[in-house]
């Protein structure tokens, strides 16, 4: 009963927030975070002044509590929604053999779709029209199976590049949803193979799917049936990589064999992804990986180490 109330409340607030902020060309939520950080930093510094210590501590606690209360009202309670897995007719445990069969299918899908997209002079996949991809995502949201999603599609385009893109590249964060403004942000510096699916994933949060792996699954449903080859290739490539990550611990030789059978174009895309990740590794990546793991576990989700729930959903849906 209570969760249903928050689901309905979310539907109302997301539409209002998207109407308010979607027309702004930059992320209002990012600006809000910057202003909030400045206030917190000011009061933290004030803690070192004896005459203002108690007042500053009180204001810090007020800001944190108000921030947390609004977060729970706008977003946090959605983690307690009925899991998508329970909406599927089949709820079998993930099976490596089934994952292998599906990986081979998506290998061929990727090879075929990769031939339909453009590349730069280095032979790496490029996005020719991100705006059309984002509009296609909105269109596909309206076509999600009713037994999986009864969320309201506002048809308001509110996906924006993050103001923190330079920092994000060193954190391993591809994108995020701002529950205070209902904006979806992505890192525009990512390899192009990441961006279409990342925007589909963040748009799934905008619909009201809070759990990360459920947003991955809904992003998969959005992208896999798309007529836009760039969105479809990014989604197929993500799906293939997810399946291989699931399989590798059980059968690394199978994964190596699949990687060897990537098309030359896919190999170039994979090499570009690996070079981007290698260039941006560091302590920030480790720190945000650790904090993200804690955040996921505190919100009724698996940690960032395992992504088996997405495979669980994928295999049961494909079955």
- What's the pLDDT at 168? 87
For residue 256, what are the CA distances in angstroms to 133, 261, 297?
A: 32, 9, 31
pLDDT band for position 124 (cuts 50, 70, 90): very high
What DSSP state is assigned to residue 117? S
- What's the pLDDT at 169? 85
pLDDT band for position 302 (cuts 50, 70, 90): low
Question: Mind listing the pLDDT tens digit for each residue in 148-196?
Answer: 988 888 889 999 999 998 888 888 889 999 999 999 999 999 999 999 9
Instruction: Looking at the chain, list the stretches that DSSP marks H as alpha helix, in order from N- to C-terminal side.
Output: 2-21, 28-46, 53-74, 96-114, 130-141, 165-168, 195-207, 212-224, 229-248, 252-260, 264-279, 283-298, 308-318
pLDDT band for position 282 (cuts 50, 70, 90): low
Q: How far apart are CA 71 and CA 177, in angstroms?
A: 12
Residues 235 and 220 sit within 8 Å (Cβ to Cβ): yes
- The label of the residue with tokens 């929604």 reads 81
Question: Mind listing the pLDDT tens digit for each residue in 184-193?
Answer: 999 999 999 9
Task: Summarize the confidence of residues 290-304 as an average pLDDT.
Answer: 44
pLDDT band for position 287 (cuts 50, 70, 90): very low
Q: How far apart are CA 275 and CA 191, in angstroms?
A: 10
Here the tokens at position 299 are: 């919100």
For residue 163, what are the CA distances in angstroms to 17, 82, 189?
A: 19, 33, 11
């Amino acid at each position: 009963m209570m969760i249903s109330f928050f689901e309905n409340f979310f539907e109302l607030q997301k539409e209002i927030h998207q109407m308010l902020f979607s027309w702004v060309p930059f992320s209002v939520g990012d600006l809000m975070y910057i202003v909030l950080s400045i206030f917190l930093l000011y009061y933290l510094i004030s803690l070192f002044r004896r005459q203002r210590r108690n007042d500053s501590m009180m204001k810090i606690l007020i800001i944190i509590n108000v921030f947390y209360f609004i977060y729970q009202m706008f977003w946090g309670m959605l983690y307690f929604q009925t899991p998508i897995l329970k909406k599927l007719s089949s709820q079998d445990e993930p099976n490596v053999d089934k994952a292998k069969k599906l990986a081979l299918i998506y290998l061929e899908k990727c090879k075929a779709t990769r031939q339909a997209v453009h590349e730069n002079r280095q032979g790496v996949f490029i996005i020719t029209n991100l705006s059309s991809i984002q509009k296609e995502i909105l269109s596909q949201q309206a076509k999600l199976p009713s037994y999986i999603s009864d969320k309201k599609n506002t048809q308001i385009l509110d996906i924006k590049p993050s103001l923190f893109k330079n920092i994000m590249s060193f954190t391993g964060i591809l994108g995020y949803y701002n529950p205070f403004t209902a904006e979806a942000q992505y890192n525009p510096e990512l390899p192009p193979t990441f961006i279409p699916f990342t925007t589909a994933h963040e748009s799934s949060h905008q619909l009201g799917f809070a759990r990360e792996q459920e947003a991955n699954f809904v992003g998969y449903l959005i992208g896999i049936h798309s007529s836009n080859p760039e969105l479809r290739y990014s989604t197929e490539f993500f799906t293939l990589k997810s399946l291989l990550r699931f399989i590798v611990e059980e059968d690394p030789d199978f994964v190596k064999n699949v990687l060897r059978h990537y098309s030359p174009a896919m190999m170039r895309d994979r090499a570009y992804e690996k070079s981007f990740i290698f260039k941006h590794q560091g302590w920030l990546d480790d720190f945000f990986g650790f904090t993200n793991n804690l955040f996921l576990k505190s919100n009724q989700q698996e940690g960032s180490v395992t992504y088996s729930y997405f495979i669980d959903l994928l295999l049961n849906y494909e079955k």
